[in-house]
Amino acid sequence: MSEIKVTEVKAKRKLFEALKKENQLAREGKIFEKRKLHSTGLLGLDLATGGGYAEGSVVEVYGETKTGKTHLALAAVAAMQKKGEFCVYIDAERRLSEARMMQLGVEVDDLIVINPETEEIAFDAMERYLQSAAIRLIVVDSLAVMLPENSLNYSLGKGSIDEERERVISEALSRLNPLIVESGTIVMFITHVRNNNGLKQGTTFTVGDDALRYYASMQLELIADNLIISSKGETLGHKTNIFVRKNSTGTNDGQATLKIYPAGLSHDRELMELGVKHRVITRNGDWFMFGEVCLGATMVEVAEYLNNTEDKKHYREKIEGEIRRNERLTLKPA
């Protein structure tokens, strides 16, 4: 081997060793540490996102009114609480009711709820909770109704209030994002879409659009679908489609369905429908089967069979486990 080639090999080896050392130091500094995923509280959305919400991330949930954004957020709260995690709900809209929370499985007494009057108050409260590192999920519901402290000046024609709101949100996220990552807290911002007359027809934007788009690891858009109608023509509820528009920590372009009933969300119906879709629950003649277990003749019967009772809990867990395994989906670090 020539002297030049020997020199090149040594140089490459030194470079490789230097890069390996740098990578090890970065890992010790948690720069490349994989973030743990937490269930969204909705099996279909877990599948659509590739595992759920990542610790230390910002999630934006947006859509028109009455599309189930608050239901989606409360499903996440309930799932977190079941694991013993603490959550904060910043209820800027002041529409949160105990009845709705209880329907969705939220432990009301264990949830911290605050009602800020301005954006600044909300972000200051968020900063304190992030610094505590004791909160796993913070929900802001919603950015659309919060105004900056000096909003009166803008209502008097002294500038654009949208620009001021964007500035406050951008500065707050810039300040809070390192805390979000360090604490491992998931921060979910709910906001609304609205038409912008200056753009082409059908174009929408959200409050804090530019800032949230930059900092959000995940963006979920909720779009209303059809009503849920029984075979007798009765309205049972309504359906919303959830589109994964951005996901830096899992699956992109996924889609899930949110079905909302007067009594809340039916996790057993969702489990049954996903079980059939993923062929974990099969059809044998007139019956739906899980292995050798007969679940019922109709989807309604199966959902009732899998209802939230302790004696059926092991069947629900087995069916969900099979679905997750088929999708190679776990809630361990991504």
Instruction: Supply the pLDDT for residue 210.
Output: 84
Which of 334, 53, 32, 41 is closest to 185 using CA atoms?
A: 53
Answer yes or no: are the C-beta atoms of 71 and 99 closer than 8 Å: no
pLDDT at 3: 56
pLDDT at 332: 43
Q: In this structure, which topology does domain 37-265 adopt according to CATH?
A: Rossmann fold (3.40.50)
Spans of the chain below 70 pLDDT: 1-33, 152-159, 195-205, 207, 308-309, 329-334
CA angle 53, 56, 62 (to 5 degrees): 50
- What's the pLDDT score for residue 198? 45
Report how far residue 155's alpha carbon sits from residue 136's, in angstroms, rounded to the nearest whole number.
37
CB atoms within 10 A of CB 257: 16
Q: What is the pLDDT of residue 334?
A: 35
The predicted pLDDT at position 299 comes to 84
- Give the three-state DSSP class for 224: strand
Q: pTM (2 decimals)?
A: 0.85
Average pLDDT of the chain, as a whole number: 86
Q: Which two tokens stand for residue 22?
A: 């740098």
Instruction: Specify the CATH number of the domain 272-326.
Output: 3.30.250.10
The full set of domain ranges for the chain reads 37-265, 272-326
Upstream peptide bond of 151 is cis (omega within 30 degrees of 0): no
| pLDDT, tens digit, 9 for 90 and up, residues 231-281 | 788 999 999 999 999 999 888 899 999 999 998 998 989 999 999 999 999
- H helices of the chain, where? 3-28, 43-49, 69-82, 98-103, 119-132, 151-155, 161-183, 209-215, 267-277, 299-305, 313-326
